[in-house]
Structure 1
Amino acid sequence: MNPILAQLAKLAHGPVPDAVRHGIPVRIIDIVGIAVRAARMDTSRAVIGFATDQCTAAQATAIGASDAMAATEAAFVNGVLAHSLDYDDTHLPSILHPSASVVPASLAVAEWRGVAGAALVDAVAVGLEVAVRLGMGGYDHQARQSVYFERGQHATSICGTVGSAAAAARLLGADTDGIAHAMSIACSMASGIIEANRAGGTVKRLHCGWAARAGVTAAQLAARGITGPATAVEGRFGLFRAFLGDQADLGAVISDLGDRWEAENIFYKPYPANHFTHTGIDAAIALRHRGLRLGDIDSVILEVAPPTVRTIGEPIEAKRLPETGYQAQFSGPYTVVAGLVGGEGLGVGLEDFRDALVHAPERRELMARVDVVGDPGFMDIYPFQFPSRLTVTTVTGHTLVSEVLANRGSPDRPLSTEELTTKYIDNTAGLVAEEVVHRTHDALCGLLTAPSIAGLLAPLTTLARTGEHP
């Protein structure tokens, strides 16, 4: 059997089906909009300052940065911004966020090299497919869980580094061997641990940016003759052995490769919170629409698939008392309350995760009444969906139940073109002029026929500054 990287490189160098290509511009739009909104954050300003201080060649545009910078640094900045709001898309069942690294890496190299929009679209498509396939290699079918996750590794940044390298190498004009070497080099750069999900800190926001930067770097080095081992994925001392031990599923990486595109199954996020919380939000919104009043609530039980409890429900004392909007994005109690109270945007929006709102007495009091428990029955669905059941007991002793088995934004419950446009407008509104919002959206929609992407991100470099948190 050919090495895995050789097979992935053949895919990455080849044609992209029209059905896949036509779905990519919207993914780019989604990431760009999220990055614009995230540019307001303190951590974003920190990485923009860091990248600017490197005083690199003016090759590509970083959103929110007044000066152009090297493609590697632009990829880093835009990747950090793309992942900072936890609003970026998700592939299941690998449970990784592929676009937040692949899109920034591709945008940076495409701008630097002056390629047409269609070339950018194709590079993003193959980069997503590579990242997702490597993520599937770490999915344990029996345990219904990501082995990367179980071992404390961040599959998003690990696989995103290699996917970004494939996309960048394609844009640099590499042949199949060159793309394979770029991905092989990237295997030595792939990294990311998820302790921050449990114990706090903002470092997780850097992961997709670092993956994008490393992917571009690997492609540049391969173009200059640096090489990597052909078996860097499945070899005795390769990426899978290092990160997955003996639990890698090689077949999942290469099964129907080129015939079935996993990139078509990536879920959009309608809510800016950890994806495990989304069906709970939907269940809460449904109960509110059924007439549930906040003053009628005595207790609430959020039932989810057992593996997700530790992320959004443990330790329950901390999840009921998030200190920041960022912590609230990983809190089952807070996100349920946000759905019950009612939000903006697509149902619960970025404004719901302001630090001040997290400390609002009404929300704190309601969070104290929410328990998060695992339901083994949901394992028949998880992790292809993240189902939830919300049971509310009222002060009069009545019980109300709302069950949501499929995520909004998934192929089973897709977001409409209008909803995705609304998301982009909401993310960019107030930060750039209304005319710029619509002009950039239209330009991104037209990528497949654009002769060049030069100047595409330029209108998004100077943004209004209206606060620390989005």
Structure 2
Amino acid sequence: MTGDAGHRTVAVSGSGFAARLAAFAAACRTGIPRTVAEDASARISDALGNCLAALGPYARGGTSGGPHEAALRAARLAGGTPEAGIVGGGVRLPADRAALVNGTLAHALDFDDTHLPSVLHPTAAVLPAALAAAEAAGADGALTVAALAAGGEICVRLGMASYDPRLRNSVFFDKGLHATSICGTVGAAVAAGLAYGLDAPRLADAIGIACSMGAGVIEANRTGGTVKRIHCGWAAHCGVNAAQLAAGGVSGPPTVLEGRFGFLTAFLGDRWDPAPLLAGLDAMDDPAHWEYPRTVYKPYPSNHFTHPGIDCALALRAAGLDPSDVVAAELGVAAAPLRTIGEPREQKIRPGSPYHAKFSGPYTVASALLSAWDHGPGVRLGDFTPEAFTDPRRQALAARVEVVSDARCDAEFPLAFGAVLRVRTHGGARLEHRVASSLGGPGNPLSRAQLAEKFRVAAEPVLGARRARALAVAADALPGAGPEGVRDLLHLTRV
């Protein structure tokens, strides 16, 4: 219901929202459902593979010499007690700064998992905080995995509270806010707090502190800039800081989430729903109540809104379409993705950098058509190198692609990301392909074999085949590892 000045007020019976979320998280310390733990372990492998890919040969012009190295330089300049390792090795840092570097790597290539309908990337923000705090505190593998699962769950539930069914979009995104870095800070605080051994009241304080720290705007999705690649690192860094401050006695408001000047109203006005945030919290021993495991994986290293268009392009190419025969193409997507991958048109048909191209519907469609011609079907890390980005064929083909709003895609969004691609050829043929849910999305998940291949392609160029396999095995075994488990895991990533 709404209160004074049109703002929502909530009648709360018993504890405030932060305390209820903290009680759930604290209960995870004694164990989480087996299937949830297995899911979280798989997400560790995927995230570490993404981090390694950001250090690999296909990151030239994307991250090499870019944000993750800037984060590392800043972290080293600040000094402090070495507590936790970073992916790639070579240095140990204070826990909060290790989280900053690893979180920046995890999100650097936009290859990280996505939760629907919140449309945020939980693992890249929460896992780096969990790993850093766990290593600093000597937490065992089971607690580390539980911390990731609990923090990821709270992160996505906060995102779900922002979903407006009338708008068919997250209110965060509609306002230009990056839900990943905002909600991810709170999830990261919970994960770090569990690893540090905070009890439920102190976890509630960590939530309250983190609510004053999360930030991020998404204009870079539209017009470029490298700051977005730091968003998950900043969330992880702030989450570790929030947990450390709570451990030191700093307190948070008990109504920090639902209050008149709390997190939800401050970011979302009166356009938020407490139901998905709190539903089933007293029955989380049942895996059916968990949302975090519903987070979907990415098969392509680009903004998730581009994926259904890539699928459509690959399908038309497989059906025999010759890219050189394309006169014009129309990519239909939901209205919200259109603003990210189709506007401003001039900057989407001529992106300003290989990373900016990851947010371009025209460029990714052109890459899908031409990549299928060049080296087998798919859009890969190599499609976002300087060489690919400046390929005249891609630039010319991207200029023939117009992105438009499609009513059917709107009706499905954001529960699934759909697209339709219509192509007109030189011979006058009109071709069309539609997908209701992109590869990897709801109803079309990646198989274990596909996930293993994604990890292999990301990790092997950096580690070699033998060490990449050893890393995958160690990640799978983390739930049963002792206090050295996280340190040993990160040691295996040393370049």
Q: Structure 1 unaligned segments of length 5 or more: list them.
A: 463-470
Cα deviation for residue 445 of structure 1 reads: 1.1
Which residue is 1:111 aligned to? 135
Task: Return closer, same or farther for 1:155/1:107 CA change in 2, 3 Å cut-off.
Answer: same
Which residue is 1:359 aligned to? 390
CA contact (8 A) 1:166 1:219 kept: yes
CA contact (8 A) 1:102 1:128 kept: yes
Pair 1:283-2:312 in alignment: yes
Which residue is 2:300 aligned to? 271
Mapped partners of 1:301, 1:221: distance in 2: 52
Which residue is 1:26 aligned to? 42
Of residues 254-263 and 152-161 in structure 1, the stretch that sits farther from structure 2 once superposed is: 254-263
CA contact (8 A) 1:270 1:346 kept: no
What aligned pairs does 1:172-211 form with structure 2 within 5 A after superposition? Answer: 172-211=196-235
Amino acid at match of 1:205: R
Pair 1:66-2:90 in alignment: yes
Q: Deviations over 1:323-364 (max 9, x none)?
A: 311111000001111111125698211100112211111111
Mapped partners of 1:232, 1:198: distance in 2: 32
CA contact (8 A) 2:222 2:359 kept: no
Of residues 246-255 and 264-273 in structure 1, the stretch that sits farther from structure 2 once superposed is: 246-255
1:242 equivalent among 266, 284, 287: 266
Task: Return closer, same or farther for 1:346/1:61 CA change in 2, 3 Å cut-off.
Answer: farther
Which residue is 1:455 aligned to? 488
Pair 1:262-2:296 in alignment: no
Percent identity of the aligned residues?
Answer: 45
1:387 equivalent among 404, 413, 418: 418
Which residue is 1:415 aligned to? 446
DSSP-derived class of the 1:451 partner = coil
Cα deviation for residue 201 of structure 1 reads: 1.0
CA contact (8 A) 2:89 2:491 kept: no
CA contact (8 A) 1:178 1:222 kept: yes
DSSP-derived class of the 2:402 partner = strand
Which residue is 1:437 aligned to? 468
2:187 equivalent among 154, 157, 163: 163
CA contact (8 A) 2:362 2:398 kept: yes
Which residue is 1:347 aligned to? 378
2:55 equivalent among 35, 39, 48: 39
Which residue is 1:8 aligned to? 21
Which residue is 1:466 aligned to? none
CA contact (8 A) 2:470 2:492 kept: no
Which residue is 1:335 aligned to? 364
How many residues are matched?
462
Which residue is 1:78 aligned to? 102
Mapped partners of 2:166, 2:464: distance in 1: 51
Mapped partners of 2:182, 2:347: distance in 1: 28
DSSP-derived class of the 1:401 partner = strand
TM-score, length basis structure 2: 0.91
Cα deviation for residue 429 of structure 1 reads: 2.0
Which residue is 2:322 aligned to? 293
Cα deviation for residue 179 of structure 1 reads: 0.8
Amino acid at match of 2:52: V
Q: Deviations over 1:135-166 (max 9, x none)?
A: 11111111101111111211100000000011
Which residue is 1:428 aligned to? 459
Which residue is 2:344 aligned to? 315
Cα deviation for residue 434 of structure 1 reads: 2.4
Mapped partners of 1:34, 1:378: distance in 2: 29
Mapped partners of 1:301, 1:13: distance in 2: 50
Query: What RMSD over aligned residues (CA atoms) do the two structures have, in Å?
Result: 1.4
What aligned pairs does 1:207-218 form with structure 2 within 5 A after superposition? Answer: 207-218=231-242
CA contact (8 A) 2:314 2:377 kept: no
DSSP-derived class of the 1:456 partner = helix
TM-score, length basis structure 1: 0.96
Mapped partners of 1:314, 1:93: distance in 2: 22
Mapped partners of 1:188, 1:39: distance in 2: 32
Q: Structure 2 unaligned segments of length 5 or more: list them.
A: 1-12, 57-62
Mapped partners of 1:25, 1:161: distance in 2: 21
DSSP-derived class of the 1:403 partner = strand
CA contact (8 A) 1:346 1:419 kept: no
Q: Deviations over 1:257-294 (max 9, x none)?
A: 33511112101000011101101101110111111111
CA contact (8 A) 1:184 1:228 kept: yes
DSSP-derived class of the 1:377 partner = helix
Cα deviation for residue 68 of structure 1 reads: 0.6
1:403 equivalent among 423, 431, 434: 434
Cα deviation for residue 127 of structure 1 reads: 0.4
Cα deviation for residue 65 of structure 1 reads: 4.5
Q: Deviations over 1:208-235 (max 9, x none)?
A: 1010010011111111111111111111
DSSP-derived class of the 1:460 partner = coil
